[in-house]
Amino acid sequence: MLIEDQDYWDVMKTFFKEEGLVKQHLDSYNDFVQNTLQHIIDEIQGITIEVPNHKYDIKFGTIEVDEARIVEVDGTVREVYPREARIRNLTYSAPLFLDIILNDEGRESLECVNIGNIPIMVKSDLCLLSKHSPDELVRIGEDPNEVGGYFIVNGSERVIVSLEDLAPNRVLIETDNRGSRPVYRGKVFSTTVGFRARIEMALKAKGEMVVSIPGVPVPVPFVVLMRALGVETDRDVAEMVSLDNEILSELETSFREAANAHTIEDSILYIGNRVAFGQVKEFRIKRAETIVDRNLLPHIGREPDDRIDKAIFLGEMASRIIELKLGRREEDDKDHLKNKRIKLAGPLLAELFRSAFWSLYRDMRYQFRRMSTRRKGVLISASVRPGIISSRIQHAIATGNWRRGRVGMTQLLDRTNTLSTLSHLRRLQSPLSRSQPNFEARDLHSTHWGRLCPNETPEGANCGLVKNLSLMASISVGTDAEKIKRTLLYLGVTQAKLADEQLRHEGAKIFVEGYLLGYTTTPNELVDTIREMRRRGEISTEVNIGYYVDHNEIYVNCDEGRIRR
């Protein structure tokens, strides 16, 4: 079958009809409302309050978002449309309802409480406009060609500008030439819900390898850390890194540095002496174990059972740094789009809602404690102040002032004409400083082809830092990585910890979200099978897979925020 020029135009028209130009914002917001809100509530199990002769257990259940509505001055509640919100300077928002279960020494009572309001993105699944046909929209006075993707706060239209960020949980290696002799570094931004830790590994000029962990004032020798993670013998540590003799010879100095820490306990005590100096031995060990479990690579897990997985990750990181020194690998390009992720409205609102909900949680705990001392008992609805969440989120969207001192995260929607509106909704911002040169970051990169517009960028200080998505670029919403891992293991991938020496020599490494899952001897067949399954709809279309023959590695990505074309 021959494809003619007209067919390409038809495909493009269909793409715009189905996807639209602001789908990335709508998808991200819908995912936040349908999934992320409940995950944030589930993170905080509940509150336990103990007063003399009494104990209250409070658990949080499901969270639901109602339809857009306003409360008039006389107390009447009715639905509101965006047009009215603009004219009357109202906030287009919907109430959040949370099921709170109170266990009063065996007597359980459930109450559905309004915990605050959340602004609604125009044309999202929660928006009333998405439920009407174009003719009905004209009849109620709304624009049938409205694209949405923004919020209405106090009557003004605010858009959350997408933020460009380095990909989390991926190892990036680089050479530091600032000193007289080069230092080879590897870093990873280990990110899990509401927590981000920067782990850095360095191969110093003298040949020793050290790891920097948040919460430990000095870098920890690599071999000591591997032993603290449960990899006791020198042979096991070496095998975790590589089976190549040339790579292992680079570790000689590191093993000499760690000569004093022979056992797992010695290694944990070595870290404990640096984080809790002068304390009793038990406390030092406990403190070091807490840091290893909670601050070191939290995205892999935060339990003692996850230590071996962390050791595998660190071994792979060390191997890459040594390969960089030996000239077998290139430095990672920070400006390559594979190392970038776009933060849309969903993740940014989740960050905001998490901190607002923690404030509400602390306030509820205080109110419950105050009430429990009284004779009347505890009233759930009286202890929840809905204004905490409402005002926090509304204020942040109205001013653009986000957590961690970030400013300018939202902007007033450009309504000069339709094209300027669409352009504004597809804009991306870089977090880099406007006053610094950053020539590489401002430059056009070969991976921008088909993903970012090469022409549309402002002049002056923002040049190259403020970019726009190409017309046919889309941003991934993400899918569950655990499901993909199970599929790969079912297709015959051998897990990294179970792989024998021969498989590690001959097999191709498989990385899922930057983590070494295992090995396979048939890389091409595996990649073809995954692509076929994706086309048949057996696995999510959000999954991307690539085989890099020069390093014999397969990379599988299924996270949110990747720019695809």
Q: What is the mean pLDDT of residues 448-466?
A: 93
Cβ(151)–Cβ(124) under 8 Å? no
Distance CA 46, CA 212 (A): 34
Q: Render 28-45 in DSSP notation, one character per residue.
A: HHHHIIIIIHHHHHHHS-
What sign for the dihedral angle of Cα 340, 344, 349, 350?
A: negative
Q: pTM value? A: 0.91
For residue 89, what are the contacts with CB-CB under 8 A and spacing of at least 6? 154, 155
Cβ(157)–Cβ(120) under 8 Å? no
Q: 94 falls in which pLDDT band (50, 70, 90)?
A: very high
Cβ(22)–Cβ(422) under 8 Å? yes
Cβ(237)–Cβ(231) under 8 Å? yes
Distance CA 82, CA 86 (A): 6
Q: What is the mean pLDDT of residues 434-459?
A: 92
Q: Which fold has domain 5-165+343-412?
A: Rna Polymerase Beta Subunit; Chain: C,domain 2 (3.90.1100)
Q: What is the pLDDT of residues 38-92, one digit of tens each?
A: 999 988 878 888 777 778 888 899 999 999 999 999 989 999 999 999 999 999 9
Q: 417 falls in which pLDDT band (50, 70, 90)?
A: very high
The neighbouring-strand residues paired with 60 are 100
Q: Which fold has domain 481-564?
A: Hypothetical Protein Ta0175; Chain: A, domain 2 (3.90.1070)
> Which stretch of 29-38, 125-134, 227-236 has the lowest confidence by average pLDDT?
227-236
pLDDT score at 437? 87
Q: What is the pLDDT of residues 165-221, one digit of tens each?
A: 999 999 999 999 988 899 999 999 998 877 888 999 999 988 889 999 998 999 999
pLDDT score at 383? 85
DSSP class of 60: E
Percent of the chain with pLDDT over 90: 59
Is the pLDDT score of 1 beyond 70? no
Burial of 438 (C-beta count, 10 Å sphere; 0-12/13-18/19+): middle
pLDDT score at 359? 92
Is the pLDDT score of 105 beyond 90? no
Distance CA 30, CA 477 (A): 10
Of residues 90, 46, 55, the one with CA closest to residue 70: 90
pLDDT score at 556? 94
Q: What is the pLDDT of residues 218-263, one digit of tens each?
A: 999 999 999 999 888 888 888 889 888 888 888 888 888 887 888 8
Distance CA 556, CA 565 (A): 17
Q: 368 falls in which pLDDT band (50, 70, 90)?
A: confident
DSSP class of 556: E
For residue 112, what are the contacts with CB-CB under 8 A and spacing of at least 6? 97, 98, 99, 100
The full set of domain ranges for the chain reads 5-165+343-412, 172-325, 481-564
Cβ(121)–Cβ(26) under 8 Å? yes
Q: What is the mean pLDDT of residues 290-296?
A: 90
Cβ(363)–Cβ(385) under 8 Å? yes
Distance CA 534, CA 530 (A): 6
Averaged pLDDT score across all residues of the chain: 90
Distance CA 147, CA 130 (A): 10
Q: What's the farthest any 2 CA atoms get from each other in the chain?
A: 82
pLDDT score at 506? 86
Distance CA 213, CA 77 (A): 52
Report H helices in 373-436: 380-383, 387-399, 418-425
C-alpha atoms less than 13 angstroms from C-alpha of 415 in its C-beta half-sphere: 10
Is the pLDDT score of 498 beyond 90? no
Cβ(193)–Cβ(43) under 8 Å? yes
Task: Assign 3-class secondary structure to 243-276.
Answer: CCHHHHHCCHHHHHHCCCCCCHHHHHHHHHHHHC
Tracing tokens 């997985």 back to the chain, one arrives at: 309
The second-level CATH assignment, the architecture, of 172-325 is: Alpha-Beta Complex (3.90)
Backbone angles phi, psi at 31, to 5 degrees: -65, -40
pLDDT score at 147? 92
Between 533 and 105, the higher pLDDT residue: 533
Beta-strand pair 410-412/340-343: unpaired
Cβ(265)–Cβ(285) under 8 Å? yes
**If DSSP codes are grouped into helix, strand and coil, which group holds residue 400?**
coil
